[in-house]
Amino acid sequence: QSALTQPRSVSGSPGQSVTITCAGTSSDIGAYNFVSWYQQLPGKAPKVVIYAVNERPSGVPDRFSGSKSGNTASLTISGLQAEDEATYHCCSYAGSYTHYVFGGGTEVTVL
């Protein structure tokens, strides 16, 4: 069982927006602004799409955005495209003992 809780799957039509939530605790998401999101295509390595809650690495489309409220982080994909179909993992730094915790991953399907 993963430390962070994500929905198993979400879906949307092309052009729509989808939001993936990631629920943690006051020891991880609530304590640090080190939430990151990783996109993983089938059989491939993960790729960071959001870091530090809401920062986007160069090369990542601006339709990807992140936010945090309390102990829950969210990833929103606006203007969904077929190439966004993947599994998305949330991650939070959790201090010098636990270090990093992950969610179980959310499969995004483009209808």
What the block records as the tokens of 99 is 């270090």
| Residue 13 C-beta: closest distance to other proteins, Å | 26
What the block records as the tokens of 74 is 């969210």
| Residue 38 C-beta: closest distance to other proteins, Å | 7
- How far is CA 45 from each of CA 86, 87, 111, rounded to the nearest angstrom? 11, 11, 24
Strand partners, 8: none
* Cβ proximity to other proteins, 68 vs 89, nearer residue: 89
* Cβ proximity to other proteins, 91 vs 110, nearer residue: 91
Which residues contact other proteins (rule: CB under 8 A)? 2, 32, 34, 36, 38, 44-48, 51-52, 57, 89, 91, 93, 96, 99-105
Count of alpha carbons within 13 angstroms of residue 67, beta-carbon side: 7
| Residue 67 C-beta: closest distance to other proteins, Å | 17
